[in-house]
Structure 1
Amino acid sequence: TVTDQSGNSSTCTATVTVEDNIAPTAVCQDVTVQLDAMGNYTLMPAEVDGGSSDNCGIASMSVSPNSFTCTEVGPNVVTLTVTDAAGNTATCTANVQVDASSACIPPSIANEGGPDIADPCTCAGNGWFAEEIVVTAPSGQTWQIATVTGLYSDLPGTTPYGAGDLLTEVPQGGGVSQYILMGYHYDGIGYYIEVESPNYPGLILSIGNTCYYPEPVLDLPAEICLFTPPLTLADYASVTGNPALESESFTINGTPATQLDPMAWGVGAVTVEYTVDAGTAGGGDPADPGCVATATQIVNIVETPSVVACNDNVQVSVDENCQAFIQPDDILEGTYGCFDDYTVELYNGFDPVPNPVDGS
């Protein structure tokens, strides 16, 4: 309406349109949800809304994706869309950790098939074995040690693993990862480990293993005399459990040998080593790791004693042929390293008697 000084007036009409061109402010928050007994969960927008706002008021909110099953256990990124009455929209993203329920098949744990160590009981030398713990589960999860004994992160076993140590994720593609832990354990002692993930409440995965090196044994005399005939080393060597061997060898003071000849080495101590190679490991067989092991024995070579003491009251038993063979160690008193350096001569008065003697 327009009015002049004389009071005359005139009117007209106009249309005024009020527009809201300001988009909402979308604010997200991260959440953790657990699947239901059927292995499903439907996410509501309000669960990830962290305080979104709009100058003229929010008309609606939606979240995508909003449906989760056992295949989505672990971290998931969702988008929250906020719309006001004028149709203006804004978005933000949130991380949704999905925890499994009893409806989900538990992940697997193994000690073979890892990316670095394929076979359990892999020889690491000096009685140690290398092994890789492998948990196969959806990608993006966290797996850690719950309890562990006998497993070390280094050689020669100075740093044991402990509760809370994390497994390393190695993605395999297709939304699946291997969570690995490489460690070392000792011959005949082994290890036991339990692992857990916050994405699987109450679930404990466990595995253990004990492996064995071949056990070579040397049983040479601790002392032999200078004139003792050469000893064939293989006659005094064995391997506990009789595993299949690829090779075996001997050294004396570091020199390859098959016999110990006292005359060749002279008086003094010599070190005999017996080394066995169990060859190729039997796949997944703790008793056949295919390792190399060595047994060592020190043998003293001595002069043949010239002064001896004899037992003057010897009793022997005859065999089924009514005979008895009298050995030097039947006669000598005390400990001698070389009975084979002595011979026994028998007399009845001044008359020689053959050895073996008969019961007559």
Structure 2
Amino acid sequence: MTLSLSSIAEQLGLEFTGEDKQITGVNTLEKAGPGDVSFLVNPKYARLLETTSAGAVLTGPDYADRVQSALISSNVYLDLAKIVKLFEVPQGRMSGTSELSCVHESADIAESATVYPFAFIGENARIGEDTVIFPGCYVGESTVIGRECIVYPNAVLMGGCELGDNSIIQPGAVIGADGFGYAQTPFGHMKIPQIGKVCLGDNVEIGANTAVDRAALDVTSIGPGTKIDNLVQVGHNVQMGKHCLVVGQVGIGGSTTIGDNVVLGGQAGIADNVTIGSNVKVGGQAGISNRLDDGSVVSGSPSMPYSTYLKAMGVCAPKLPDLFKKVKKLEKRLATLEEAQGDDHDKT
């Protein structure tokens, strides 16, 4: 695709300066060529403006005069996403329902939906308008998928699950597998049937190879606008609010409640039955076992306020080797003093 710089500016409602050029793509300041539009989000890379070969640069007003052609933005990162969207090439080229797919006769598939070969659509499943189901997907019985969704190859939506409009399920994700529930008996672990479901709101994205387990009896719920990265585990009965960000390899224990606008850093672990308020930020690899109130910012394992964590790890931790040496010296001095006191006592 080729778009003029002026056309891009008009579509995004941006001002542009310099020569109007034909743009064929987007790239970084270091790798962009004359046909690319590049971007400056972080000021620490401003030095690259002097050497970039980009045809134009998306940047704030403070840097626009340092390049020959510029798109001027008050929110560069947001407008970058919009520009990339203009040049995005969607995955797949097919339309309609393939004869090589397996679709139950009772399934309701919108005429504008696309079902690729070797996808399975179960009994009483419903698929909304303009939704795309890629090869190898399993859509279980009575599962409902909204409109304009994308379910990428080999993703699984088990029976009875619900997916809101404009949502994305990345390859290999599993929605609605059994939660991890067992009763301990003298004869071993007896499986507790998981008969609930999973409900995902509108504009939710689930990353590749992430698992969202069905509830034991009720609903595992992910709120509208929440984005979950790859390789995340969401346990059964979890209730997660709106517009959360969950980074890769996070594990969320069963029956945990999470508010709105929560950020969970990579590899954070959340214990079962924990309540996390809204607008909470949890650092990477943090361990959360107790309630976090609204607005909390924590890190570490066990978790602590972020300011305390910085002091503990940034100030105290580097001094531990020297502190260890001092303690060993004090132990030796103490042992010498105790030995001397013992000798004096024996003489008396």
Pairwise same-fold verdict (TM > 0.5): no
Which band: TM-score by shorter chain?
Answer: under 0.3
Higher strand share: 1
Bigger relative CO (Cα 8 Å, ≥ 6 apart): 1
TM-score (norm 2): 0.20
Q: Which has the larger radius of gyration?
A: 1
TM-score (norm 1): 0.19
